[in-house]
Amino acid sequence: MRANQTLDAIWSRRSRAFREETLPYFRYMGQSGFPAFMSLILISSAIGYLSLIRQLPADFPIAATGVFSLMLVLCWSPLRTWLGAGDTVFLMPREAEMDSYLRRSLRYTSVGSTLLAAIVLLLYIPIYSQGPAINSGWILAAVAAALKAGNVWGAWRERQMTWSGMRRLMRLLRWVTTALVLAVWLTCAAMQAAAFTILVGLLFLLIHRFPSRHRLPWERLIEEEARTRKRYYVFFGLFIDVPTLPSRIAKRPYLTWLLRAVPYSNRNTFVYLYTASLLRTEIGGILIRLLLLGCLITYWLADAVSLSGWGSFLVFGIFMGVLAVQLGGLRHVHRYSVWKHVYPLPDKQRVDQYLKVDRVAMLICAALLWLFMALPLALSAVYTPTIAAAAGAIFYVAVRPSRLRKKMLADADEE
Protein backbone atom coordinates (compact mmCIF):
# COMPACT_ATOMS: atom_id res chain seq x y z
CA MET A 1 0.00 0.00 0.00
CA ARG A 2 2.80 2.32 1.00
CA ALA A 3 4.72 1.50 -2.20
CA ASN A 4 1.57 2.19 -4.26
CA GLN A 5 1.28 5.60 -2.67
CA THR A 6 4.88 6.30 -3.62
CA LEU A 7 4.33 5.39 -7.27
CA ASP A 8 1.21 7.49 -7.19
CA ALA A 9 3.30 10.36 -5.87
CA ILE A 10 5.84 9.83 -8.66
CA TRP A 11 3.04 10.01 -11.23
CA SER A 12 1.69 13.23 -9.72
CA ARG A 13 5.14 14.78 -9.47
CA ARG A 14 5.96 13.97 -13.09
CA SER A 15 2.63 15.23 -14.34
CA ARG A 16 3.09 18.47 -12.39
CA ALA A 17 6.68 18.80 -13.64
CA PHE A 18 5.53 18.54 -17.25
CA ARG A 19 2.83 21.17 -16.67
CA GLU A 20 5.37 23.52 -15.08
CA GLU A 21 7.87 22.83 -17.85
CA THR A 22 5.42 23.62 -20.64
CA LEU A 23 3.51 26.50 -19.01
CA PRO A 24 5.98 29.21 -20.14
CA TYR A 25 5.76 27.93 -23.71
CA PHE A 26 1.97 28.12 -23.60
CA ARG A 27 2.41 31.74 -22.47
CA TYR A 28 4.65 32.46 -25.45
CA MET A 29 2.09 30.83 -27.69
CA GLY A 30 -0.63 33.02 -26.13
CA GLN A 31 1.43 36.13 -26.84
CA SER A 32 1.85 35.19 -30.51
CA GLY A 33 -0.88 35.63 -33.11
CA PHE A 34 -1.72 31.94 -32.87
CA PRO A 35 -4.82 32.22 -30.62
CA ALA A 36 -6.22 34.89 -32.95
CA PHE A 37 -5.45 32.69 -35.93
CA MET A 38 -7.16 29.72 -34.28
CA SER A 39 -10.15 31.87 -33.34
CA LEU A 40 -10.43 32.89 -36.97
CA ILE A 41 -10.42 29.25 -38.06
CA LEU A 42 -12.91 28.36 -35.30
CA ILE A 43 -15.29 31.18 -36.24
CA SER A 44 -15.11 30.41 -39.95
CA SER A 45 -15.60 26.69 -39.23
CA ALA A 46 -18.58 27.48 -36.97
CA ILE A 47 -20.16 29.63 -39.70
CA GLY A 48 -19.53 26.86 -42.25
CA TYR A 49 -20.99 24.25 -39.90
CA LEU A 50 -24.11 26.28 -39.10
CA SER A 51 -24.82 27.00 -42.74
CA LEU A 52 -24.28 23.32 -43.52
CA ILE A 53 -26.75 22.01 -40.93
CA ARG A 54 -29.27 24.72 -41.88
CA GLN A 55 -29.22 23.70 -45.54
CA LEU A 56 -27.84 20.21 -45.80
CA PRO A 57 -27.45 19.30 -49.51
CA ALA A 58 -29.70 16.43 -50.53
CA ASP A 59 -26.75 14.33 -51.68
CA PHE A 60 -24.64 14.98 -48.55
CA PRO A 61 -22.80 11.77 -47.53
CA ILE A 62 -24.24 11.63 -44.00
CA ALA A 63 -23.13 8.11 -43.07
CA ALA A 64 -19.65 8.46 -44.64
CA THR A 65 -19.07 11.74 -42.77
CA GLY A 66 -20.11 10.09 -39.51
CA VAL A 67 -17.93 7.03 -40.06
CA PHE A 68 -14.88 9.12 -40.97
CA SER A 69 -15.11 11.76 -38.25
CA LEU A 70 -16.17 9.44 -35.43
CA MET A 71 -13.62 6.78 -36.39
CA LEU A 72 -10.79 9.33 -36.07
CA VAL A 73 -11.73 10.42 -32.56
CA LEU A 74 -12.82 7.02 -31.27
CA CYS A 75 -9.74 5.14 -32.47
CA TRP A 76 -7.22 7.77 -31.36
CA SER A 77 -6.14 6.48 -27.96
CA PRO A 78 -3.00 8.25 -26.72
CA LEU A 79 -1.30 7.39 -23.43
CA ARG A 80 0.83 9.71 -21.30
CA THR A 81 2.94 7.69 -18.90
CA TRP A 82 5.71 10.23 -18.11
CA LEU A 83 8.15 7.32 -18.39
CA GLY A 84 11.75 8.06 -19.40
CA ALA A 85 14.85 6.10 -20.37
CA GLY A 86 16.08 5.96 -16.76
CA ASP A 87 12.94 4.08 -15.70
CA THR A 88 14.27 0.79 -17.05
CA VAL A 89 16.74 1.10 -14.17
CA PHE A 90 14.69 2.82 -11.48
CA LEU A 91 11.05 1.78 -11.98
CA MET A 92 11.49 -1.58 -13.70
CA PRO A 93 12.36 -3.36 -10.43
CA ARG A 94 8.90 -2.28 -9.20
CA GLU A 95 7.06 -3.57 -12.25
CA ALA A 96 4.70 -5.62 -10.09
CA GLU A 97 3.40 -2.40 -8.52
CA MET A 98 3.03 -0.48 -11.79
CA ASP A 99 -0.65 -1.37 -12.37
CA SER A 100 -1.99 1.54 -10.36
CA TYR A 101 0.50 3.91 -12.02
CA LEU A 102 -0.65 2.86 -15.48
CA ARG A 103 -4.34 2.88 -14.52
CA ARG A 104 -3.89 6.52 -13.59
CA SER A 105 -2.23 7.20 -16.95
CA LEU A 106 -5.07 5.48 -18.78
CA ARG A 107 -7.67 7.42 -16.83
CA TYR A 108 -5.86 10.71 -17.41
CA THR A 109 -5.53 10.33 -21.18
CA SER A 110 -8.88 8.64 -21.80
CA VAL A 111 -10.77 11.59 -20.30
CA GLY A 112 -9.37 14.00 -22.91
CA SER A 113 -9.90 11.75 -25.92
CA THR A 114 -13.40 10.76 -24.73
CA LEU A 115 -14.34 14.42 -24.35
CA LEU A 116 -13.14 15.09 -27.89
CA ALA A 117 -15.19 12.15 -29.18
CA ALA A 118 -18.26 13.45 -27.31
CA ILE A 119 -17.88 16.90 -28.93
CA VAL A 120 -17.57 15.39 -32.41
CA LEU A 121 -20.62 13.20 -31.76
CA LEU A 122 -22.63 16.23 -30.57
CA LEU A 123 -21.64 18.09 -33.73
CA TYR A 124 -22.53 15.11 -35.89
CA ILE A 125 -25.95 14.34 -34.44
CA PRO A 126 -27.66 17.41 -36.05
CA ILE A 127 -26.34 16.21 -39.42
CA TYR A 128 -27.34 12.60 -38.71
CA SER A 129 -30.88 13.62 -37.70
CA GLN A 130 -31.47 15.11 -41.16
CA GLY A 131 -30.95 11.70 -42.77
CA PRO A 132 -32.97 8.53 -42.26
CA ALA A 133 -31.79 8.53 -38.57
CA ILE A 134 -32.62 4.86 -38.09
CA ASN A 135 -31.28 4.80 -34.51
CA SER A 136 -31.70 7.50 -31.88
CA GLY A 137 -28.93 9.85 -30.77
CA TRP A 138 -28.87 8.16 -27.37
CA ILE A 139 -28.19 4.80 -28.95
CA LEU A 140 -25.38 6.33 -30.99
CA ALA A 141 -23.91 7.82 -27.81
CA ALA A 142 -24.00 4.41 -26.09
CA VAL A 143 -22.37 2.76 -29.13
CA ALA A 144 -19.71 5.47 -29.25
CA ALA A 145 -18.97 4.99 -25.54
CA ALA A 146 -18.63 1.22 -26.00
CA LEU A 147 -16.39 1.70 -29.04
CA LYS A 148 -14.24 4.17 -27.14
CA ALA A 149 -13.78 1.70 -24.29
CA GLY A 150 -12.98 -1.07 -26.78
CA ASN A 151 -10.43 1.14 -28.53
CA VAL A 152 -8.70 2.15 -25.29
CA TRP A 153 -8.44 -1.54 -24.37
CA GLY A 154 -7.33 -2.54 -27.89
CA ALA A 155 -4.71 0.22 -28.05
CA TRP A 156 -3.26 -0.93 -24.72
CA ARG A 157 -3.09 -4.56 -25.91
CA GLU A 158 -1.35 -3.39 -29.10
CA ARG A 159 1.26 -1.55 -27.03
CA GLN A 160 1.94 -4.80 -25.19
CA MET A 161 2.59 -6.76 -28.38
CA THR A 162 6.12 -8.05 -28.89
CA TRP A 163 6.33 -7.66 -32.66
CA SER A 164 5.95 -4.29 -34.35
CA GLY A 165 4.51 -5.82 -37.52
CA MET A 166 1.76 -7.57 -35.56
CA ARG A 167 1.08 -4.37 -33.59
CA ARG A 168 0.60 -2.39 -36.80
CA LEU A 169 -1.63 -5.09 -38.26
CA MET A 170 -3.82 -5.16 -35.15
CA ARG A 171 -4.06 -1.37 -35.13
CA LEU A 172 -5.21 -1.41 -38.75
CA LEU A 173 -7.73 -4.10 -37.83
CA ARG A 174 -9.00 -2.02 -34.89
CA TRP A 175 -9.50 1.04 -37.10
CA VAL A 176 -11.22 -0.96 -39.85
CA THR A 177 -13.44 -2.76 -37.31
CA THR A 178 -14.44 0.52 -35.67
CA ALA A 179 -15.30 1.98 -39.09
CA LEU A 180 -17.39 -1.07 -39.98
CA VAL A 181 -19.30 -1.06 -36.68
CA LEU A 182 -19.97 2.67 -37.04
CA ALA A 183 -21.16 2.19 -40.62
CA VAL A 184 -23.56 -0.56 -39.55
CA TRP A 185 -25.02 1.49 -36.67
CA LEU A 186 -25.47 4.52 -38.95
CA THR A 187 -27.20 2.59 -41.72
CA CYS A 188 -28.95 -0.47 -40.21
CA ALA A 189 -31.59 -1.23 -37.60
CA ALA A 190 -30.50 -1.62 -33.99
CA MET A 191 -31.04 -5.39 -33.81
CA GLN A 192 -28.97 -6.15 -36.91
CA ALA A 193 -26.28 -3.66 -35.84
CA ALA A 194 -26.14 -5.12 -32.32
CA ALA A 195 -25.77 -8.66 -33.66
CA PHE A 196 -22.97 -7.54 -36.00
CA THR A 197 -21.21 -5.64 -33.19
CA ILE A 198 -21.31 -8.61 -30.82
CA LEU A 199 -19.96 -10.89 -33.54
CA VAL A 200 -17.14 -8.51 -34.48
CA GLY A 201 -16.39 -7.82 -30.81
CA LEU A 202 -16.06 -11.54 -30.01
CA LEU A 203 -13.87 -12.06 -33.05
CA PHE A 204 -11.73 -9.12 -31.97
CA LEU A 205 -11.34 -10.57 -28.46
CA LEU A 206 -10.45 -13.96 -29.90
CA ILE A 207 -7.80 -12.58 -32.26
CA HIS A 208 -6.23 -10.63 -29.40
CA ARG A 209 -5.55 -13.84 -27.51
CA PHE A 210 -2.90 -15.05 -29.94
CA PRO A 211 -0.09 -12.48 -30.40
CA SER A 212 2.87 -12.70 -28.03
CA ARG A 213 2.83 -9.86 -25.49
CA HIS A 214 4.96 -8.16 -22.86
CA ARG A 215 3.39 -7.79 -19.46
CA LEU A 216 4.55 -4.19 -19.43
CA PRO A 217 6.00 -2.83 -22.68
CA TRP A 218 8.64 -0.55 -21.13
CA GLU A 219 10.51 0.36 -24.29
CA ARG A 220 7.37 1.09 -26.27
CA LEU A 221 5.90 3.28 -23.52
CA ILE A 222 9.18 5.19 -23.11
CA GLU A 223 9.38 5.71 -26.88
CA GLU A 224 5.74 6.84 -27.06
CA GLU A 225 6.25 9.31 -24.23
CA ALA A 226 9.40 10.69 -25.90
CA ARG A 227 7.48 11.07 -29.15
CA THR A 228 4.63 12.91 -27.46
CA ARG A 229 7.05 15.29 -25.72
CA LYS A 230 8.81 15.86 -29.03
CA ARG A 231 5.50 16.80 -30.64
CA TYR A 232 4.83 19.37 -27.93
CA TYR A 233 8.24 20.89 -28.52
CA VAL A 234 7.87 20.89 -32.30
CA PHE A 235 4.64 22.83 -31.73
CA PHE A 236 6.26 25.25 -29.25
CA GLY A 237 9.16 25.62 -31.68
CA LEU A 238 6.79 27.51 -33.98
CA PHE A 239 6.71 30.36 -31.46
CA ILE A 240 10.00 30.34 -29.54
CA ASP A 241 13.37 28.57 -29.35
CA VAL A 242 12.95 25.26 -27.58
CA PRO A 243 15.42 22.74 -26.18
CA THR A 244 16.58 20.29 -28.81
CA LEU A 245 15.15 16.84 -28.23
CA PRO A 246 16.29 13.85 -30.26
CA SER A 247 14.24 13.96 -33.42
CA ARG A 248 12.05 11.08 -34.50
CA ILE A 249 13.01 9.78 -37.89
CA ALA A 250 10.69 8.24 -40.46
CA LYS A 251 12.33 6.50 -43.43
CA ARG A 252 9.71 7.56 -46.01
CA PRO A 253 11.32 5.38 -48.72
CA TYR A 254 8.82 6.74 -51.26
CA LEU A 255 10.59 10.13 -51.04
CA THR A 256 14.20 8.88 -51.13
CA TRP A 257 14.38 9.54 -54.90
CA LEU A 258 14.22 13.25 -54.10
CA LEU A 259 17.38 12.94 -52.01
CA ARG A 260 19.11 10.95 -54.71
CA ALA A 261 18.25 13.71 -57.18
CA VAL A 262 20.56 16.14 -55.33
CA PRO A 263 23.72 16.28 -57.49
CA TYR A 264 26.97 15.06 -55.90
CA SER A 265 29.04 18.22 -55.54
CA ASN A 266 30.60 20.32 -52.82
CA ARG A 267 28.18 23.20 -53.41
CA ASN A 268 25.25 20.89 -52.68
CA THR A 269 26.51 19.50 -49.35
CA PHE A 270 23.98 21.32 -47.21
CA VAL A 271 21.25 20.99 -49.85
CA TYR A 272 21.71 17.24 -49.40
CA LEU A 273 21.67 17.41 -45.61
CA TYR A 274 18.68 19.76 -45.31
CA THR A 275 16.73 17.79 -47.92
CA ALA A 276 17.27 14.59 -45.91
CA SER A 277 16.20 16.39 -42.74
CA LEU A 278 13.12 17.79 -44.41
CA LEU A 279 12.08 14.45 -45.88
CA ARG A 280 12.67 12.33 -42.79
CA THR A 281 12.11 14.37 -39.66
CA GLU A 282 8.83 15.26 -37.96
CA ILE A 283 8.85 18.62 -39.80
CA GLY A 284 8.47 16.82 -43.13
CA GLY A 285 5.80 14.50 -41.70
CA ILE A 286 3.68 17.39 -40.42
CA LEU A 287 4.23 19.26 -43.69
CA ILE A 288 2.98 16.31 -45.74
CA ARG A 289 -0.10 15.84 -43.53
CA LEU A 290 -0.87 19.57 -43.59
CA LEU A 291 -0.45 19.66 -47.35
CA LEU A 292 -2.83 16.72 -47.83
CA LEU A 293 -5.41 18.31 -45.54
CA GLY A 294 -4.97 21.68 -47.25
CA CYS A 295 -5.39 20.16 -50.72
CA LEU A 296 -8.53 18.31 -49.59
CA ILE A 297 -10.22 21.34 -48.01
CA THR A 298 -9.17 23.66 -50.85
CA TYR A 299 -10.56 21.16 -53.35
CA TRP A 300 -13.90 20.86 -51.50
CA LEU A 301 -14.37 24.61 -51.34
CA ALA A 302 -13.20 25.15 -54.93
CA ASP A 303 -15.44 22.36 -56.20
CA ALA A 304 -18.43 23.91 -54.43
CA VAL A 305 -17.33 27.37 -55.76
CA SER A 306 -17.95 28.58 -52.22
CA LEU A 307 -18.15 32.41 -51.86
CA SER A 308 -17.70 32.64 -55.67
CA GLY A 309 -14.33 30.89 -55.35
CA TRP A 310 -12.98 33.22 -52.63
CA GLY A 311 -13.62 30.57 -49.95
CA SER A 312 -10.92 28.37 -51.46
CA PHE A 313 -8.71 31.47 -51.86
CA LEU A 314 -9.02 32.11 -48.10
CA VAL A 315 -8.20 28.50 -47.23
CA PHE A 316 -5.28 28.56 -49.71
CA GLY A 317 -3.91 31.62 -47.90
CA ILE A 318 -4.39 30.08 -44.43
CA PHE A 319 -2.66 26.84 -45.41
CA MET A 320 0.18 28.68 -47.14
CA GLY A 321 0.74 30.54 -43.87
CA VAL A 322 0.67 27.39 -41.74
CA LEU A 323 2.92 25.48 -44.18
CA ALA A 324 5.39 28.39 -44.26
CA VAL A 325 5.61 28.49 -40.45
CA GLN A 326 6.05 24.72 -40.26
CA LEU A 327 8.74 24.70 -42.96
CA GLY A 328 10.55 27.52 -41.15
CA GLY A 329 11.30 25.05 -38.32
CA LEU A 330 13.87 23.36 -40.58
CA ARG A 331 16.40 26.10 -39.92
CA HIS A 332 16.68 24.98 -36.27
CA VAL A 333 17.38 21.33 -37.09
CA HIS A 334 21.18 21.54 -37.35
CA ARG A 335 21.60 24.70 -35.35
CA TYR A 336 23.86 23.11 -32.74
CA SER A 337 25.55 20.50 -34.95
CA VAL A 338 29.30 20.26 -34.51
CA TRP A 339 29.71 19.41 -38.21
CA LYS A 340 28.48 22.87 -39.18
CA HIS A 341 31.77 24.13 -37.76
CA VAL A 342 34.00 21.22 -38.78
CA TYR A 343 33.08 20.87 -42.47
CA PRO A 344 35.28 22.95 -44.77
CA LEU A 345 32.41 25.10 -45.98
CA PRO A 346 31.78 28.80 -45.34
CA ASP A 347 28.70 29.57 -43.27
CA LYS A 348 27.30 31.78 -46.02
CA GLN A 349 27.22 28.75 -48.30
CA ARG A 350 25.23 26.84 -45.66
CA VAL A 351 22.68 29.65 -45.44
CA ASP A 352 22.38 29.89 -49.24
CA GLN A 353 21.93 26.14 -49.58
CA TYR A 354 19.34 26.06 -46.79
CA LEU A 355 17.39 28.83 -48.55
CA LYS A 356 17.49 26.81 -51.77
CA VAL A 357 15.88 23.80 -50.05
CA ASP A 358 13.32 26.05 -48.37
CA ARG A 359 12.43 27.77 -51.66
CA VAL A 360 11.98 24.53 -53.59
CA ALA A 361 9.88 22.98 -50.79
CA MET A 362 7.71 26.10 -50.51
CA LEU A 363 7.22 26.20 -54.28
CA ILE A 364 6.18 22.54 -54.42
CA CYS A 365 3.70 23.03 -51.56
CA ALA A 366 2.29 26.21 -53.11
CA ALA A 367 2.00 24.64 -56.58
CA LEU A 368 0.20 21.53 -55.31
CA LEU A 369 -2.17 23.51 -53.14
CA TRP A 370 -2.84 25.93 -55.98
CA LEU A 371 -3.61 23.12 -58.44
CA PHE A 372 -6.31 21.75 -56.12
CA MET A 373 -7.87 25.19 -56.18
CA ALA A 374 -7.27 26.15 -59.81
CA LEU A 375 -8.53 23.00 -61.56
CA PRO A 376 -12.02 22.74 -59.97
CA LEU A 377 -12.51 26.51 -60.27
CA ALA A 378 -11.44 26.45 -63.94
CA LEU A 379 -14.08 23.78 -64.60
CA SER A 380 -16.65 26.26 -63.23
CA ALA A 381 -15.07 29.04 -65.33
CA VAL A 382 -14.01 31.05 -62.25
CA TYR A 383 -10.53 32.54 -62.65
CA THR A 384 -10.05 35.68 -60.54
CA PRO A 385 -9.42 33.99 -57.12
CA THR A 386 -7.02 31.55 -58.81
CA ILE A 387 -4.99 34.36 -60.40
CA ALA A 388 -4.99 36.31 -57.12
CA ALA A 389 -3.79 33.20 -55.23
CA ALA A 390 -1.00 32.59 -57.77
CA ALA A 391 0.13 36.23 -57.57
CA GLY A 392 0.11 36.17 -53.77
CA ALA A 393 2.04 32.89 -53.63
CA ILE A 394 4.67 34.09 -56.13
CA PHE A 395 5.14 37.31 -54.18
CA TYR A 396 5.51 35.41 -50.90
CA VAL A 397 7.97 32.87 -52.32
CA ALA A 398 10.00 35.77 -53.74
CA VAL A 399 10.25 37.74 -50.46
CA ARG A 400 10.60 34.77 -48.08
CA PRO A 401 14.36 34.07 -48.61
CA SER A 402 15.49 37.55 -47.56
CA ARG A 403 13.34 37.38 -44.41
CA LEU A 404 14.67 33.93 -43.56
CA ARG A 405 18.26 35.04 -44.19
CA LYS A 406 17.80 37.86 -41.65
CA LYS A 407 16.41 35.38 -39.11
CA MET A 408 19.34 33.00 -39.66
CA LEU A 409 21.85 35.81 -39.22
CA ALA A 410 20.08 36.82 -36.01
CA ASP A 411 20.25 33.17 -34.85
CA ALA A 412 23.99 33.09 -35.62
CA ASP A 413 24.54 36.31 -33.63
CA GLU A 414 22.72 34.81 -30.64
CA GLU A 415 24.99 31.75 -30.77
Partner 1 sequence: MDAILQVSHLTGGYSPRRPVLHDISFEVKAGEMVGLIGLNGAGKSTTIKHILGLMKPQTGEVKVDGVTLEEQTEKYRAAFAYVPETPVLFDELTVEEHLRLTGMAYSVQNSQYEGREDELLQQFQMLPKRKAFASHLSKGMRQKVMIMNALLAEPPLYIIDEPFLGLDPLGIRSLLERLVEVKRKGAAILMSSHILSTVEAYCDRFIVMHHGHIIAQGTLDDVRQAAGLSMRSGSLEDAFYKLVTGGND
Helical ranges in 132-268 per DSSP H: 137-160, 164-187, 190-207, 218-236, 256-260
Question: Would you say 218 and 83 are in contact if contact means Cβ atoms under 8 Å apart?
Answer: yes
Name which of 260 and 403 has its Cβ closer to partner 1.
260
Helix/strand/coil for 241: coil
Q: Which residue, 245 or 304, has its beta carbon nearer to partner 1?
A: 245
Could you tell me the smallest distance in angstroms from the CB atom of residue 277 to partner 1?
5
Closer of 11 and 270 to partner 1 (Cβ): 270
Name which of 295, 366, 371 is nearest 327 in CA terms: 366
Q: Which is nearer to partner 1, 211 or 285 (CB)?
A: 285
Q: Is 332 within 8 Å of 237 (Cβ atoms)?
A: yes
Shortest Å, Cβ 356 to partner 1: 14
Residue 284: count of CB within 10 angstroms of its CB: 22
Burial of 173 (0-12, 13-18, 19+ CB in 10 A): middle
Shortest separation between residue 284's beta carbon and partner 1, angstroms: 9
Nearest to partner 1 of 67, 279 (CB atom): 279
286 vs 374 by CB, closer to partner 1: 286
- Which residue ranges make up the site for partner 1 (CB under 8 A)? 246-247, 249, 251, 259, 264-266, 268-269, 272-273, 276-277, 279-281, 334, 337-339, 341-346
- DSSP secondary structure, 99-168, as one string: HHHHHHHHHHHHHHHHHHHHHHHHHHHHHHHTTT--S-HHHHHHHHHHHHHHHHHHHHHHHHBS-HHHHH
Q: What share of the chain is helix, strand, coil (3-state, %, to 5)?
A: 80, 0, 20
Tell me the C-alpha to C-alpha distance, in Å, between residue 181 and each of 16, 120, 174, 175.
38, 17, 10, 10
CB of 155 to partner 1, least distance (A): 25
Q: Is the dihedral of CA 351, 235, 178, 205 positive or negative?
A: positive
Chain centre to alpha carbon of residue 8: 30
| Residue 99: CB minimum distance to partner 1, A | 32
Shortest distance (Å) from residue 12 CB to partner 1: 33
| Least distance CB 325 / partner 1 (angstroms) | 21
C-beta of residue 54 within 8 angstroms of C-beta of residue 122 = no
Nearer to partner 1, 212 or 265 (CB): 265
Q: Which amino acid is at 291?
A: L
- Among residues 7, 24, 11, 71, the alpha carbon closest in space to that of 225 is found at 11
The secondary element (H helix, E strand) that includes residue 214 is none
What are the two backbone dihedrals, phi and then psi, of residue 155, each rounded to the nearest 5 degrees? -65, -35
Nearer to partner 1, 29 or 358 (CB): 358
State which residue, 60 or 272, has the beta carbon closest to partner 1. 272
Among candidate residues 160, 247, 148, 165, the one with its CA nearest the CA of residue 208: 160
CA distance 155 to 78: 8
> At its nearest, how many Å lie between partner 1 and the CB of residue 213?
24
Residue 93 or 344: which CB sits closer to partner 1? 344
Q: How far is the CB of 275 from partner 1 (least distance, A)?
A: 10
Beta carbon of residue 258, minimum distance to partner 1 (angstroms, whole number):
13
